[in-house]
A and B are shown apart, each in its own frame.
Chain A
Amino acid sequence: MNRSEELLKRLPNDIGGQLGAPIRRVEHEYLPWEKRCHALADVLDMRKLVNTEEKRRGVEALGAEMIGALTYYERWIAAFANILFQKGVLTPGELAFKMEEVAERHGKDTNI
Chain B
Amino acid sequence: MEIAMRELLIEKHFISAGEIRRHLEVLDSRTPQLGARLVAKAWVDPEFKARLLRDGRGACEEVGISFYENTQLTVLENTEKVHNLIVCTLCSCYPREVLGLPPDWYKLTPYRSRAVREPRGVLAEFGTIIPDDVEIRVSDSTAMIRYLVLPRRPEGTEEMTEEQLAALVTRDAMIGVVPVEREKGGAQ
Question: Which residues does A use to contact B, with CB under 8 Å?
Answer: 13-28, 30, 33, 35-40, 42-44, 46-47, 49, 52-53, 56, 59, 72-73, 77-78, 80-81, 84, 89-90, 94-95, 98-99, 101-102, 110-112
CB distance from A39 to the nearest CB of B (A): 4
- The smallest beta-carbon distance between A70 and chain B, in angstroms, is 11
Name the segment of B6-14, B47-55, B72-80, B156-164 touching the other chain.
B6-14
Main secondary structure of the interface of B (DSSP, over half): helix
Q: Which residues of B contact A (CB under 8 A)?
A: 1-9, 12, 14-15, 19-20, 23-24, 26-28, 68, 87, 89-92, 101, 103-105, 107-114, 116-117, 122, 125-126, 140, 143, 187
The 5 A-B residue pairs whose C-beta atoms are closest, nearest first, are A16-B89, A27-B103, A39-B23, A98-B4, A20-B113
Contacts of B116 in A (CB 8 A): 16-17
Give the residues in chain A near B14, CB-CB below 8 Å.
47, 49, 89
Which residue of A is nearest B15, CB measured? A43
Contacts of A84 in B (CB 8 A): 5, 9
Per a CB cutoff under 8 Å, which of A20, A38, A78 touches B27? A38
Of the residues A19, A39, A111, contact of B20 by C-beta under 8 Å: A39
With A18-B113, A72-B107, A90-B9 already in contact, 13 other A-B pairs whose C-beta atoms are closer than 8 Å? A16-B117, A23-B110, A25-B187, A39-B23, A40-B5, A43-B23, A46-B23, A47-B19, A53-B143, A59-B91, A81-B1, A84-B9, A101-B4
Given the complex, which residues of A lie within 8 Å of B91, measured CB to CB? Answer: 13, 56, 59
Evaluate whether A95 and B1 lie within 8 angstroms (CB atoms) in the complex, with A36-B20, A39-B24, A46-B19 already known: yes
